[in-house]
């Protein structure tokens, strides 16, 4: 019996969940499915430029697990590009990180905002625009979807099937 997947923490859903080659009707295309955790791994490693160890900490998984996820994601993206397939982003055993923590570099004020809300432009205490993500919110051991931080859910399946509350 295979070992169950460890729940992976993601911090956002993709703005678009489907990409396809231009000029080819969708019904003529094969699909490659990129899971939400694979999408998050690509976002952290390739867009944010994080080292695998730091990105793994943000997703609350081990560095070797992150390495396997990012390798699979890169292969799927390459297959879609090289073979002209549609890329669909869905599914995976994930939990949403619930809040982002910010800190003002000028006055030291720290506060949280829910994911999905825009990044604050000024500190609510002093009005400074010198804001950064709080150090404890940048990933590290022991952070993630533990007790009281949201349940692990399986994202949507193929052809509109849903497994969870996304």
Residue 166 belongs to a domain: no
Give the number of domains in the chain. 1
Helical (H) or strand (E) element with 76? helix 63-83
Residue 62 belongs to a domain: yes
Residue 164 belongs to a domain: no
Residue 158 belongs to a domain: no
Structural domain boundaries, residue 70 = 8-152
Per-residue pLDDT of the chain (166 residues; tens, 9 = 90+): 676 667 787 877 788 889 999 999 999 999 999 999 999 999 999 998 999 999 999 888 899 999 999 999 999 999 999 999 999 999 877 777 767 788 899 999 988 886 666 788 999 999 999 988 877 666 443 333 333 334 455 544 433 333 333 3
Say what the pTM is. 0.62
């Amino acid at each position: 019996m295979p070992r169950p997947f460890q729940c992976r923490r993601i911090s956002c859903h993709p703005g678009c969940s489907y990409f396809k080659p231009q000029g080819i009707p969708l019904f003529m295309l094969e699909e490659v499915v990129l899971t939400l955790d694979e999408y998050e791994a690509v976002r952290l490693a390739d867009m944010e430029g994080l080292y695998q160890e730091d990105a793994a900490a943000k997703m609350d998984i081990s560095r070797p697990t992150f390495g396997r996820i990012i390798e699979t994601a890169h292969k799927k993206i390459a297959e879609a590009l090289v073979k002209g397939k549609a890329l669909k982003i869905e599914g995976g055993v994930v939990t949403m990180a619930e809040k982002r923590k910010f800190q003002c570099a000028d006055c030291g004020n720290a506060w949280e905002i829910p994911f999905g809300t825009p990044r604050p432009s000024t500190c609510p205490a002093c009005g400074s625009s010198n804001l950064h993500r709080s150090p404890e919110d940048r990933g590290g051991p022991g952070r993630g979807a533990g007790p009281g931080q949201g349940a692990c859910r399986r994202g949507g399946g193929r052809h509109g099937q849903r497994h969870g509350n996304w």
